[in-house]
Amino acid sequence: MLVQHILKSKAKAGVLTVASAASVADAAKILAENRIGSVVVSDDDGQTAVGILSERDIVRELARVGVACMEKPVSDYMTRKLVTCTGTTSVQDLLMQMTEGRFRHMPVVEDGKLVGLVTQGDAVKAQLSELAMEKRALEGMIMGH
């Protein structure tokens, strides 16, 4: 299975983004309202990704410097060195990269443009779905259908 299949199956198309100049409080509000774990940072209305900010990034800074970090710009705490994938990345490769990099969200980029965001949960769900289909096919073959 490929990342493009995951993107097609997602309930919402597109990617929620926040500008790098926005406050961490604004980003936290987006995370809370949408019940998501990270937000892509984009300064051109979601065309390209310049970073990603996760709830872990925010919690880490709250513990380190306190509530003052909430008024700082997202650019102060975002991950700048993005690991991205494309629609043709396999789910197995995606999960391997996420596991090795110890992150749960990966932007999908095609020709330099941000086209989606996949999560570790999306990838696991896709793998389980694929395994269930294979199981049904094997059972059908064994039963002679």
* CA distances from residue 129 to 20, 87, 136 in whole angstroms, order as listed: 36, 18, 11
Q: Which residues pair with 41 in a beta bridge?
A: 18, 51
- Report pLDDT for 108: 95
Structural domain boundaries of the chain? 3-143
**Predicted model pTM:** 0.85
Domain 3-143, classified CATH 3.60.150.10, yes or no: no
For residue 96, the tally of other CB atoms under 10 A from its CB is 11
Would you give per-residue pLDDT tens digits along the chain (145 residues)?
A: 899 999 998 867 678 999 999 999 999 999 999 999 999 999 998 899 999 999 999 999 999 999 999 999 999 999 999 999 999 999 999 999 999 999 999 999 999 999 999 999 999 988 888 887 778 888 888 887 6
